[in-house]
């Protein structure tokens, strides 16, 4: 039983109870438990099998939650969750993903209007039924219709972090079979797209049936949907589907190339093959009926007069022109990162102290961090006003005296208010080492208005960087309607850095605009936005996003040593 699966069940339980109007403290306990479990490096199953009492030593896990964890590990499910799923349809839970529609409204729609599906909700909104209800109105009805459109576009895709965790677990377990010679993920997960529709796994094996049997029996698999001699499709407990393909050793590279994609990249490869009198498919590269290459991806690319191209940039954007000139970028790696400049502590909505975050970052080999708790506009996170912020900065100075080998910057994540002003006065911001300006509210403002808010921040000499630029939440909330050309040009002109927020729900800015920022010479900073020590681990997802944008170590400011970064701070604005 994977930690991610246990965490998913607690999240789902909290969602269902929220619709039923359960006690907020109870909901928070389940969500905190999910966060603790998903961020835990140790296996929950191992703890349960070794000594279940140790569960209660984990943050936020009491006796009741520990018992529920044991039940999930031992039975793969939770009776309370299954009972709620029978009472509340899955589509009703998905309504929570519509911005502005909280659990109370969802509960009303479900219980009072008998709306049990997204189709029912759309029909009710289009027919004006929603607007007639007390507490809703025309504006809410329009929000619902826009939210439904976004959900339909998102489809059944899941965020990369969730998909990859499941793919990694299955590959890890199948690779233990003696009959498996090679195994790899493929598809959009291998290309590290920010969301994934399904999973692909390729295997070479002397006993395909044994591999398929092992997959069918895997703890993450809910149902076998189809099975043939060399291909099997299964549905996972999460609802995600996975295709397993057993391929011949001589075709493994060609198959990996084909099933990794993207479709656009593969089309160009096939054209190059045809230009050379060859034919490329998932079985290999052929000259008439003769197999020219196919055992490895490198062989296939070489036969087409190309160097091997990293999966993250196989989108037919820039990779072929760069490859032909032998100018493929040396993509950034996790080991290149020297600092993390966006994180939260118990001063606002974090779960760890300044010192704990510093020690956690130091353990990763970082040379510097910035503590950037929320400004006062974010009331739900206990945001800081000027007085509390200055006291917080003094606490950072005291923490610095207690830890060596890492520099702690006095920072703030400061909201750009709906009227375009900053949430804290310039005289306060000027005292900070590092200021992240962000949009949290007013994301539906017209493009001209929201662009002006960002331009004001970009031009502010106290602002170091714009964080999670669009404000999107992947699969849940679309980003603001921005004129990226105008914003990126201003960032380049005024020396304001841009963030790739590594949190798997954000990955903002996206790869397209990160690539454009690279062209304009705008320094990118990859940050975790961590709210706990375990949250520092999501840096890898920011790296994936940067790699998809073609970014190298040179394009990312927090790959610099502390001495180098200090100079950048002094000259950037």
Q: What does R_g of the chain's alpha carbons equal in angstroms?
A: 25
Question: Nearest CA to 334 among 39, 539, 548?
Answer: 539
DSSP label of 177? S
**Residue 571: predicted pLDDT:** 61
**Residue 459: predicted pLDDT:** 97
Q: What is the pLDDT of residues 81-137, one digit of tens each?
A: 989 888 888 888 888 877 667 778 888 888 888 898 888 999 998 989 988 888 888
Report the 10 Å Cβ neighbour count for 567. Answer: 11
What superfamily would CATH give domain 158-246? Beta Polymerase, domain 2 (3.30.460.10)
If you classify domain 3-154 with CATH, what class do you get? Answer: mainly alpha
**Residue 380: predicted pLDDT:** 85
CA distances from 235 to 83, 174, 468, 487 (A): 22, 16, 33, 43
Query: Taking a C-beta distance cutoff of 8 angstroms, is the pair 95, 101 a contact?
Result: yes
- 61 φ, ψ to 5°? -105, 110
CA distances from 497 to 92, 450, 470, 488, 494 (A): 40, 18, 15, 10, 9
Q: How far apart are CA 551 and CA 540, in angstroms?
A: 14
Q: For the chain, what is the mean pLDDT?
A: 92
Which residue ranges in the chain fall short of pLDDT 50? Answer: none
Q: Which residues contact 118 (CB under 8 A, 6 or more apart)?
A: 91, 94, 95, 148, 151
Tokens encoding 216: 């069918």
**Residue 202: predicted pLDDT:** 98
> Is the pTM here over 0.85, yes or no?
no
* CATH 3.20.20.140 placement within the chain: 334-571
**Residue 573: predicted pLDDT:** 55
DSSP label of 478? P
Question: Nearest CA to 281 among 290, 265, 269?
Answer: 269
Q: What is the pLDDT of residues 315-371, one digit of tens each?
A: 998 899 999 999 999 999 999 999 999 999 999 999 999 999 999 999 999 999 999
Tokens encoding 124: 């009710």
CA distances from 68 to 6, 13, 80, 83, 137 (A): 10, 11, 9, 14, 41
**Residue 41: predicted pLDDT:** 64
Q: Which residues contact 99 (CB under 8 A, 6 or more apart)?
A: 143, 147, 476, 477
**Residue 271: predicted pLDDT:** 94
Topology (CATH level 3) of domain 334-571: TIM Barrel (3.20.20)
Q: What is the pLDDT of residues 526-556, one digit of tens each?
A: 999 999 999 999 999 999 999 999 999 999 9
* CATH 1.10.150.110 placement within the chain: 3-154
Neighbour-count burial of 11, counting CB atoms closer than 10 A to its CB (0-12 exposed, 13-18 middle, 19+ buried): middle
* CATH 3.30.460.10 placement within the chain: 158-246
**Residue 154: predicted pLDDT:** 55
Burial 225-247 (b: 16+ CB within 10 A, else e): eebeeeebbbebbbebbbbbbbb
What superfamily would CATH give domain 261-324? DNA polymerase, thumb domain (3.30.210.10)
């Amino acid at each position: 039983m994977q930690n991610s699966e246990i965490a998913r069940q607690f999240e789902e339980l909290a969602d269902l109870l929220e619709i039923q109007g359960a006690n907020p403290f109870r909901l928070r306990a389940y969500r905190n438990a999910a966060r603790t479990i998903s961020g835990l490096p140790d296996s929950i199953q191992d703890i349960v099998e070794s000594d279940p009492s140790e569960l209660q030593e984990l943050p936020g896990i009491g006796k009741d939650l520990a018992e529920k964890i044991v039940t999930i590990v031992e039975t793969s499910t939770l009776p309370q969750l299954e009972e709620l799923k029978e009472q509340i349809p899955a589509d009703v839970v998905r309504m929570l993903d519509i911005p502005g529609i909280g659990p109370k409204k969802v509960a009303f729609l479900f219980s009072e209007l008998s709306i049990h599906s997204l189709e029912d909700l759309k029909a009710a909104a289009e027919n004006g039924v929603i607007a007639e209800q007390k507490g809703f109105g025309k504006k809410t009805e329009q929000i619902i219709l826009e939210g439904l459109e976004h959900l339909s576009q998102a489809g059944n895709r899941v965020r990369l972090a969730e998909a990859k965790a499941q793919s990694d677990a299955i590959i890890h377990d199948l690779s233990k079979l003696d009959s498996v010679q090679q195994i790899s993920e493929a598809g959009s997960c291998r290309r590290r797209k920010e969301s994934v529709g399904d999973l692909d796994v390729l295997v070479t094996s002397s006993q395909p049936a044994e591999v398929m049997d092992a997959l069918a029996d895997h703890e993450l698999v809910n149902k076998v949907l189809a099975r043939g001699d060399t291909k099997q499709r299964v549905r996972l407990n999460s609802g995600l589907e996975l295709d397993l393909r057993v391929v011949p050793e001589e075709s493994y590279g060609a198959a990996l190339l084909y099933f990794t994609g993207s479709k656009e990249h593969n089309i160009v490869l096939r054209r190059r093959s045809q230009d050379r009198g060859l034919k490329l498919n998932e079985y290999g590269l052929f000259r008439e009926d003769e197999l020219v290459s196919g055992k490895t991806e490198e062989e296939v690319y070489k036969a087409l007069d190309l160097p091997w191209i990293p999966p993250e940039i196989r989108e037919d954007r820039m990779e072929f022109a760069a490859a032909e000139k032998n100018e493929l970028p040396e993509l950034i790696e996790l080991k290149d990162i020297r600092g993390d400049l966006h994180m939260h502590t118990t001063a606002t909505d974090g779960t760890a102290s300044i010192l704990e975050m510093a020690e956690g970052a130091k353990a990763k080999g970082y040379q510097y961090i910035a503590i950037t708790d929320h400004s006062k506009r974010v009331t739900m996170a206990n945001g800081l006003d000027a007085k509390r912020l200055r006291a917080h900065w003094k606490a950072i100075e005291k923490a610095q005296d207690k830890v060596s080998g890492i520099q702690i910057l006095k920072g703030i994540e400061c909201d750009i208010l709906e009227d375009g002003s900053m949430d804290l006065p310039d005289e306060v911001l000027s005292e900070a080492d590092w200021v992240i300006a962000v949009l949290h509210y007013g994301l539906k403002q017209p493009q001209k208005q929201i662009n002006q808010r960002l331009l004001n921040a970009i031009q502010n000499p106290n602002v170091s960087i714009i964080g999670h630029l669009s404000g999107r939440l992947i699969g849940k909330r679309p980003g603001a309607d921005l004129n990226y050309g105008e914003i990126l040009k201003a960032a380049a002109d005024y020396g304001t850095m841009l963030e790739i927020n590594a949190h798997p729900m954000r990955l903002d800015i996206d790869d397209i605009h990160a690539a454009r920022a690279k062209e304009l010479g705008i320094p990118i900073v990859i940050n975790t936005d961590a709210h706990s020590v375990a949250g520092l681990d999501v840096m890898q997802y920011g790296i994936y996003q940067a790699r998809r944008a073609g970014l190298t170590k040179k394009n990312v400011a927090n790959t610099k040593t502390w001495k180098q970064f200090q100079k950048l701070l002094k000259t950037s604005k």
